[in-house]
Structure 1
Amino acid sequence: MIDNTVFENKLAAYYTLGCKLNFAETSTIGKTLAAQGIRKVRNGEKADICVINTCSVTELADKKCRQAIRRISKQHPGAYMVVTGCYAQLKPEEVASIEGVDLVLGAEQKLDIVSYLNDFKKKNEGGAIVASKTKDIKTFSPSCSADDRTRHFLKVQDGCDYFCTYCTIPFARGRSRNGSIASIVKQAEEVASKGGKEIVLTGVNIGDFGRTTGETFLDLIKALDEVEGIVRYRISSIEPNLITDEAIHFVAQSKRFAPHFHIPLQSGNDEVLRLMKRKYDTSLFKHKVSKIKELLPNAFIGVDVIVGTRGETDELFEDARVFIEGLDISQLHVFSYSERPGTQALKIDHSVDPKIKHTRSQQLLDLSERKLHAFYEANIGKEQVVLFEEAKHGDVMHGFTANYIKVEAPYRKDLVNETRRVLLHDFNEDKTALTVTIIE
């Protein structure tokens, strides 16, 4: 039985590291605590409880989490510190030993946080741990968050069954599972009723949607396309083998789905892809890019790439770089391989020197910059619809076209969270956005 009196007049602070899925889940935790009467802290206030939602995609992510926990503990002295997220699930004892931590919640428990807050008394020696084994992470907990711009991030799927050799996410989030189409449509309708205009579909492996409900990702996007009030949807990272040609065809003729795709490649070399145990080859990836460009010539395609994985020789990397350079894509998200305990990649011979990783990463980042610049240049002079965001820097405001081009315009309060047809002009002063003339 929960004693609601312990929540009276309490203030909470929330911190999120990592992916947009984490942000959606932190938002849900915040709403849960707000329903108990716990108010979010304002600037200058000290929190009674701090909730830190962590990431563990790389060793650097773990380090950033530890630093954040210590920093937040100093910012809110005496606050009850709750740590959850992937780092907490994978290394609960390590997290619990960090000074200031009072409670560590695993993946299965984090969205039921109220059940574990019996009091706000600080622990003298190490935090309490409440976490399930990976095989017991089975619950799908709906989550939706709004960022500080105009987008809402809607969780449609969680977990992953792929077990790529370099990845710990299946151990941190459990097996693939999802909500029903009916429940997700209802959430989208709630976003629309509150004035939300753009929704990004998020998850760990969203193309695997339907694993637990017998539905399909194509069924999902068809249903969401009918929700009135939403101007556009964006599909977040989706595996190339799971984005079907039928789904691409549907996006091309849909009312609300943006011509914007984010597809993880990870390597442009088939031998490295086999070492990674990815479920596709470069031929399939190239086909997906070609199909998107055939049906949506002006689509934005972002691509994830990992450099320096075990087994990636100079020759294999160069082959991958040449393949990537030949793809008609818009931008690369480049990650340096980080060895993770318990992964199968550690059994692969030939590790890559950190300096070589850095060099390879810089080569692909330079390539990404050239591709992004060329994509923007190709759109100069075209008309597009922009959803404008709140001002960020003085007298200018920004927004994005459907195909994810960032634009800059003089600030007008009446344009915030509104769509307008614009004419795209040249780059702004720092080359980060295109200037525009509003047509209507």
Structure 2
Amino acid sequence: MDASKKVAFYTLGCKLNFSETSTIARSFEGEGFERVEFSEPADIYVINTCSVTENADKKFKTIVKQAQKINPEAFVAAVGCYAQLKPHELADVEGVDLVLGATEKFKLTHYINDLLANPNRTSKNGAEVHSCEIEDADFYVGSYSIGDRTRAFLKVQDGCDYKCTYCTIPLARGISRSDTLENVLNNASEISKQGIKEIVLTGVNIGDYGKGEFGNKKHEHTFLELVKALDQVDGIERLRISSIEPNLLKNETIEFVSKSRTFVPHFHIPLQSGSNDILKLMRRRYMSELYTERVSKIKEVMPHACIGVDVIVGFPGETEECFLETYHFLDELDISYLHVFTYSERDNTPAAEMENVVPMKVRNKRSKMLRGLSAKKRRAFYESQLGTNRTVLFEGENKYGYIHGFTENYVKVKYPWNPELVNTLHEVTLSNIDEDGMVRIEILNNVLA
């Protein structure tokens, strides 16, 4: 490769994708490439794709056009979940030169070396596609993101053995498999040496951690053992668990987090529906009663904990009664906010073939109702925290004269801009909720870390 060349990255989708993009970017930097922003001129543009929502699929074409507008001669590569599921669909997009699926994405520099060495290479000839059978995605590649100075996403697990009827992730990422405990701890240490204060654990199904270590299906370590080991890593101020399935979030883990040195009282637990009938159609591995137990346990040992919930509206068979069951279930539950997803049909999933399809107009109406409920829940949670003392990790951006940050229990706060606060932890008092919904604070002391 020409070491003077520039490369830019665009990531669609989840925290896991961000961690993998960051790892791929480091492989370019290791070969002398200069990484630039996606809005800047570059020789190579890499788009890490997502297939979870229909919008992520549609956005891909827009991003390719954006890259071509900046540099019509640039080399465009697509990697990730959508690239695995529909490689030839992406290859047909004008301007795309290379499409890499699940097992190939971490070899991106190798493929680009080969293609750039070919003087006849041109996107007019169509993109080159390397997409494996998903059964071949049975090995693990560790990754973590470093970009935002205040936090890093650390991948601990990949793939999923669950067969939820609406989900394409097992088709895009393969079987559940995990990093070794030793590698995770080494990566966490590397991150802490960069001066990063917070690590967010990420994966497709992180509660399944331990399965597939060393290429087998046994659990060499449990998620609880992982959490306990990470709690001992020097230099990390905060550890945050990203989304974890309710059936895999055990009481022992909740108890440990409540007494932990570094794990924060913030959980994001997918529900998807409050109706047991819909949960069965989705082939989820729990009923709503278990979900209620998990929330109650968290609030029992950590009354100030923040609990986020994923919900899907408009799933086939979701009658008005089923939806209202979900709405009232969430309304009565002691949770803090919702991530609402409007169901969209995905190819090669059982749900796409189901009867009793919910009209899009009804899906959108239900989505709007739950987003309203989310705003109400978040406001009530923030109000419950006013007057308390919390620890805030400040972010690095000046937005309209304010610096923002998050408390350990995920309350978003604002304070007049001061560059000396960036990437520092301070004890604060939560004062009042501003017009924009963020919480104003008083800083109580000097820097904690």
The TM-score bracket by the shorter chain reads: over 0.9
CA distance, structure 1, for counterparts of residue 319 and residue 147 of structure 2? 40
Structure 1 range deviating more: 407-416 or 226-235: 407-416
Structure 1 range deviating more: 343-352 or 256-265: 343-352
Task: For residue 392 of structure 1, give the secondary structure of its aligned residue in structure 2.
Answer: strand
CA distance, structure 2, for counterparts of residue 347 and residue 123 of structure 1? 36
Aligned in 2, Cα 1:153/1:44: closer, same or farther, shift over 3 Å? closer
Q: Which amino acid aligns with 2:55?
A: L
Match of 2:181 in 1: 181
Q: Which amino acid aligns with 1:250?
A: F
Q: Is the 8 A contact 2:45 2:75 kept in 1?
A: yes
CA distance, structure 1, for counterparts of residue 229 and residue 307 of structure 2? 24
CA distance, structure 2, for counterparts of residue 42 and residue 409 of structure 1? 28
Whether 2:89 is the aligned partner of 1:94: answer yes
Aligned in 2, Cα 1:247/1:383: closer, same or farther, shift over 3 Å? same
**Residues 34-433 of structure 1 correspond to what in structure 2 (within 5 A)?**
34-41=29-36, 45-117=40-112, 118-120=114-116, 121-148=121-148, 150-213=150-213, 214-431=220-437, 433=438
Task: For residue 58 of structure 2, give the secondary structure of its aligned residue in structure 1.
Answer: helix
The TM-score with structure 2 as length reference comes to: 0.95
Cα displacement (A) at 1:212: 1.3
Q: Is the 8 A contact 1:308 1:356 kept in 2?
A: yes
* Runs of 4+ in structure 1 over 6 Å off: none
Cα displacement (A) at 1:123: 3.2
Cα displacement (A) at 1:8: 2.5
1:389-417 per-position Cα deviation (integer Å, ceiling 9, x unaligned):
11331421011100000111112222111
Q: Is the 8 A contact 2:270 2:311 kept in 1?
A: yes
Q: Is the 8 A contact 2:39 2:70 kept in 1?
A: no
Task: For residue 248 of structure 1, give the secondary structure of its aligned residue in structure 2.
Answer: helix
CA distance, structure 2, for counterparts of residue 314 and residue 76 of structure 1? 50
Q: Is the 8 A contact 1:106 1:130 kept in 2?
A: yes
Q: Report the RMSD for the aligned CA atoms in angstroms.
A: 1.2
Unaligned runs of at least 5 residues, structure 1: 1-5
1:90-145 per-position Cα deviation (integer Å, ceiling 9, x unaligned):
00000001111111000111012122121334232210001111111112111111
Q: Which amino acid aligns with 2:326?
A: A
Task: For residue 17 of structure 2, give the secondary structure of its aligned residue in structure 1.
Answer: helix
Equivalent residues, number:
434
Q: Is the 8 A contact 2:9 2:38 kept in 1?
A: no
Q: Is the 8 A contact 2:10 2:38 kept in 1?
A: no
Cα displacement (A) at 1:149: 5.2
CA distance, structure 2, for counterparts of residue 116 and residue 42 of structure 1? 22
Unaligned runs of at least 5 residues, structure 2: 214-219
Q: Is the 8 A contact 2:207 2:245 kept in 1?
A: yes
Q: Is the 8 A contact 2:38 2:67 kept in 1?
A: no
CA distance, structure 1, for counterparts of residue 147 and residue 282 of structure 2? 33
Aligned in 2, Cα 1:70/1:228: closer, same or farther, shift over 3 Å? same
Query: Percent identical across equivalent pairs?
Result: 50
Q: Is the 8 A contact 1:390 1:397 kept in 2?
A: yes
Task: For residue 398 of structure 2, give the secondary structure of its aligned residue in structure 1.
Answer: coil
Q: Is the 8 A contact 2:12 2:49 kept in 1?
A: yes
Task: For residue 421 of structure 1, give the secondary structure of its aligned residue in structure 2.
Answer: strand
Q: Is the 8 A contact 1:78 1:122 kept in 2?
A: no
1:138-175 per-position Cα deviation (integer Å, ceiling 9, x unaligned):
12111111343511000011111102000001000111
